[in-house]
């Protein structure tokens, strides 16, 4: 064995177990594994689960707030304008350093699977992508990081972006992104979605987009996206993020669209840091900036949650990259009050996110990839309640963080 986690408490059983790991895989799960291994972790009866998954973050934008002007209105459009100013000055090294810092934070919190958006537009070209690709290379022993080519400024309202999107896929982006609501008119939003699906088919990639990130019930690109995915046969390979406008729809229209989302086997990611500006133009009562989480889950839709932004033009002060903190916010925003619902919340932070990244083997089972986290709590709901420390984090069969801090990467070998 390369590694043994001893005295681990699993979610699905009452007794404690040892977990034996070799060659990056879980080899044995038993009440007691005799002998020793190259490395050992004593979980001491604490919760041991598949690692956390961060399916929606912006590593290129993170940690830029200190260099940006203050957003006095807190409206989305001003954040976009601020980030336009900030990203003009990006260099590959600057982006790489900030992205590396945030990946280290994520790994310390127990995240080992990451999907990050990276802006691709006529302002930054491929500079942000090159920077995050460099960070991914630096952190390749710590976490599996996938990058989404993201046309934040729109495709048809930022001429030249269509060509840049193709170049981004050639340069190493893994997933085709989109922002159809950025377009000036609905017919262009539909063309934007069709373009993304066409690019995805050409490169055989998944699609993940920011969809209807608005309180406007007239934002209806989720409907077009679901239909386009069904027609393209891209079932299960499409993900819609935010979809806050869905919460503003009339209940009958919302039910119709949710049925299409389920039919497309479209994943949904909710981002509760959006609470900071949900319903920003409402007087009172004020909407919360999240989607219909419980209705989507009830319809059988795979729903995960993510951090989105950390100390950038969208969220200048807050953000740690800790899924327990983000989940705590979501529990209140989506009204997850029972212990059973907190189990669902934890699934959203782990296995549901892994399903989006199409890693269904993300489990504590013999034969599964050894990516896991030891959380200093006796149960999932106590982990959220106490924001419990992470004692150890394992990626690809090796301990990559202890007590919240990344280990010396050089000790991990090749
Ligand atoms: Zn986002």
CB-based burial label for 276 (10 Å; 0-12, 13-18, 19+): middle
Q: pLDDT band at 414, cuts 50/70/90?
A: low
CA distance 150 to 164: 10
242 CA distance to ligand 1 middle (Å): 8
CA of 209 to the centre of ligand 1 (A): 9
pLDDT-based confidence at residue 257 (cuts at 50, 70, 90): very high
Cα 209 from Cα 352, distance rounded (Å): 17
Band the pLDDT of 105: cuts 50, 70, 90: very high
pLDDT confidence tier of residue 12, bands split at 50, 70 and 90: confident
pLDDT exceeds 90 at position 47: yes
210 CA distance to ligand 1 centroid (A)? 7
CB 353 within 8 A of CB 55: yes
Decide if pLDDT at 79 tops 70.
yes
| Segment 5-29 mean pLDDT | 96
Is a pLDDT exceeding 70 seen at residue 413?
no
Strands 47-50 and 52-57 turn out to be unpaired
Report how far ligand 1's centroid is from the alpha carbon of 118 (Å): 10
Task: Write the pLDDT tens digit of every residue in 149-179.
Answer: 999 999 999 999 999 999 999 999 999 999 9
How many Å lie between the centroid of ligand 1 and the Cα of residue 208? 11
- Ligand 1 centroid from CA 337, angstroms: 26
**DSSP bridge partners of 34:** none
Residue pointed to by tokens 């066409």: 198
- CA 270 to centroid of ligand 1, rounded, Å: 10
Distance from Cα 382 to the centre of ligand 1, integer Å: 28
**Cβ atoms of 263 and 223 closer than 8 Å:** no
Phi, psi of 140 (to 5 degrees): -65, -20
Interval between CA 318 and ligand 1 midpoint (Å): 15
pLDDT of amino acid 50: 98
pTM over 0.95: yes
Gap from CA of 11 to ligand 1 centroid (Å): 31
Query: What tens digit of pLDDT does each residue of 291-339 get?
Result: 999 999 999 999 999 999 999 999 999 999 999 999 999 999 999 999 9
The SS3 assignment for 404 reads coil
pLDDT of 402 reads: 98
The alpha carbon of 90 and the centre of ligand 1 are apart by a number of angstroms equal to 19
Q: Is the pLDDT of residue 407 over 80?
A: yes
- Give the pLDDT confidence score for residue 409 in this predicted structure: 76
Q: How far apart are CA 388 and CA 407, in angstroms?
A: 19
pLDDT one-digit tens code per residue, 199-247 = 999 999 999 999 999 999 999 999 999 999 999 999 999 999 999 999 9
């Amino acid at each position: 064995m390369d590694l043994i986690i001893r005295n681990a408490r699993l979610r699905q059983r009452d007794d404690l177990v040892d977990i034996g790991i070799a060659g990056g895989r879980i080899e044995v799960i038993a009440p007691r594994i005799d002998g020793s291994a190259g490395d050992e972790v004593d979980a001491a009866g604490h919760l041991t689960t598949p690692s956390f998954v961060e399916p929606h973050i912006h590593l290129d934008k993170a940690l830029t707030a200190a260099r940006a002007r203050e957003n006095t209105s807190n409206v989305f459009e001003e954040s976009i304008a601020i980030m336009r100013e900030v990203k003009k000055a990006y260099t590959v090294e600057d982006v790489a350093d900030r992205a590396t810092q945030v990946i280290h934070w994520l790994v310390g919190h127990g995240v080992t699977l990451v999907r990050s958006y990276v802006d691709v537009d006529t302002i930054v070209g491929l500079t942000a992508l090159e920077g995050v690709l460099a960070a991914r290379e630096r952190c390749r022993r710590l976490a599996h990081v996938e990058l989404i080519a993201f046309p934040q400024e729109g495709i048809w309202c930022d001429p030249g972006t269509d060509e840049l999107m193709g170049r981004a896929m050639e340069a190493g982006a893994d997933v085709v992104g989109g922002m159809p609501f950025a377009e000036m008119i609905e017919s262009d939003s539909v063309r934007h979605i069709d373009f993304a699906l066409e690019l995805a088919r050409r490169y055989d990639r998944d699609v993940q987009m920011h969809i209807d990130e608005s309180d406007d019930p007239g934002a209806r690109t989720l409907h077009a996206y679901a239909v386009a995915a069904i027609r393209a046969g891209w079932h299960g390979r499409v993900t819609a993020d935010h979809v806050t406008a869905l919460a503003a729809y009339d209940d009958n229209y919302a039910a119709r669209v949710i049925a299409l989302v389920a039919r497309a086997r479209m994943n949904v990611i909710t981002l509760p840091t959006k609470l900071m500006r949900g319903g920003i133009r409402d007087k009172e009562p004020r909407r919360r900036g999240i989607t219909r989480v419980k209705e989507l889950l009830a319809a059988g839709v795979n729903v995960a949650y993510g951090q989105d932004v950390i100390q950038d033009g969208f969220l200048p002060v807050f953000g740690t990259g800790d899924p327990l903190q983000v989940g705590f916010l979501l529990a209140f925003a989506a009204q997850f009050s029972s212990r059973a619902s907190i189990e669902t919340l934890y699934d959203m932070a782990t296995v549901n996110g892994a399903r989006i990244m199409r890693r269904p083997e993300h489990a504590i089972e013999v034969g599964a990839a050894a990516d896991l986290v030891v959380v200093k709590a006796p149960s999932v709901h106590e982990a959220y309640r106490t924001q419990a420390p992470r004692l150890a984090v394992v990626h690809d069969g090796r301990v990559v963080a202890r007590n919240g801090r990344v280990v010396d990467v050089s000790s991990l070998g090749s």
